[in-house]
Amino acid sequence: MGRRRGSRPPPEPPDAEAALEVAARYLATRPRTRWEVRRRLQRAGADAAVADATLDRLTELGYLDDHAFVRWWLGQRDRHAPRGRRLIEAELRQRGVEREAIEQLREAWDEPERGPDDADLPATDDERAARALQRHLRGRLFPDDPRARQRLGMFLMRRGFDPDTIRSAIRDAAGAQDPEDDG
Please check the confidence at residue 25 and state whether its pLDDT lies above 80.
Answer: yes
Q: What is the mean pLDDT of residues 24-51?
A: 95
Distance CA 64, CA 23 (A): 10
- Quote the CA–CA distance of 118 and 116 in Å, as a whole number: 5
pLDDT at 138 over 50: yes
pLDDT of residue 114: 60
Give the pTM: 0.75
pLDDT band at 148 (very low <50, low <70, confident <90, very high): very high
Give 182's pLDDT tier (boundaries 50, 70, 90): very low
> pLDDT category, 4, cuts 50, 70, 90?
low
Spatial distance between the Cα atoms of 44 and 20, rounded to a whole number of angstroms: 11
What's the pLDDT score for residue 19? 95
pLDDT exceeds 90 at position 43: yes
pLDDT at 183: 38
Q: What 3-state DSSP class applies to 124?
A: coil
Q: Please work out, in degrees rounded to the nearest 5, the angle formed at the alpha carbon of residue 81 by the alpha carbons of 76 and 86.
A: 90
Whether the Cβ atoms of residue 164 and residue 177 lie closer than 8 Å to each other: no
Provide CB contacts within 8 A for 56, sequence distance 6+.
none
Instruction: Kindly state the average pLDDT of the residues 32-57.
Output: 96
Q: Is the predicted pLDDT of residue 60 greater than 90, yes or no?
A: yes
